[in-house]
Structure formats: structure tokens, C-alpha cells
Amino acid sequence: MCHNVKTISKVSSGELSICENCKIYHLEFNNICFEFNVEQYEKFKNYLLNIETNYWETKYAHSKVKRKIPIPSLQPNLVLMFNRQEIEELKSLFCNKKNVFLALDDIDYTLILN
């Protein structure tokens, strides 16, 4: 159990922290929790920052699933799926961006005019 945990960054859906004693990174995002050593952290960060969101959204454009951007896991039958907003929030955690503004296209909202 980590006792000396320092928060690196935080967004509305989660936070990234590190145990300064054992150098384990903790990523809590929505209902997912990861623990990374330094090497795993760097690999995940690199993968995340290089995801082509437009490619995946185009590939799964006609799919009925809401989340279209996959992040594979070592478990062969487990793929974590995210939408564009979630990917941007994850990226902001790893880049330690303070203010992340979404473009209009990034907002998944059905507008109903009365």
C-alpha cells in the first residue's frame, strides 16, 4: 500500500498520481484504475498521445457503440473503449494541461430545440 502519494494532475473524470516511495503511478479514470511502473507509464503515455482519434472514429462511424476509440490490453479478450472527450481528458492528465477546451465537434450532445 502506498502512503506517500502525490497528485500529478486531475480532471473531472479522474486523476493521475504517483507514490514517491515506490515510484508507482496510479491512474484512476471513470471506473478504471491502472498502476504503472515508470517504464509502463512511459509506454502508455506514448501510446495515448499518438492515438489517431479521427482514424478510429471513421473506422467505427457506422457502429452502434458510443465509444469508438480502442486501447488494447494484454488480456486478449479485453479492449478499453473511449470517446473523443475521454481521450482528450486522458491526454490532459499525462500532459499536465491545466485548461482543456473542447471544440464544438468534440461535444457529444443532442440539441433539442423546442
Taking a C-beta distance cutoff of 8 angstroms, is the pair 36, 22 a contact? no
106 assigned to some structural domain: no
Q: To the nearest whole number, what is the mean pLDDT of the chain?
A: 88
Residue 25: burial class (beta carbons within 10 Å; 0-12, 13-18, 19+): buried
Taking a C-beta distance cutoff of 8 angstroms, is the pair 30, 90 a contact? no
31 assigned to some structural domain: yes
Q: Which domain holds residue 30?
A: 5-99
pLDDT at 49: 95
14 assigned to some structural domain: yes
107 assigned to some structural domain: no
75 assigned to some structural domain: yes
How many structural domains compose the chain? Answer: 1
pLDDT over 60 at 10, yes or no: yes
108 assigned to some structural domain: no
- Give 102's pLDDT tier (boundaries 50, 70, 90): low
- Give 53's pLDDT tier (boundaries 50, 70, 90): very high
16 assigned to some structural domain: yes
pLDDT tens-digit series, residues 12-28: 899 999 999 999 999 99
Taking a C-beta distance cutoff of 8 angstroms, is the pair 14, 93 a contact? yes
48 assigned to some structural domain: yes
pLDDT tens-digit series, residues 86-99: 999 999 999 975 55
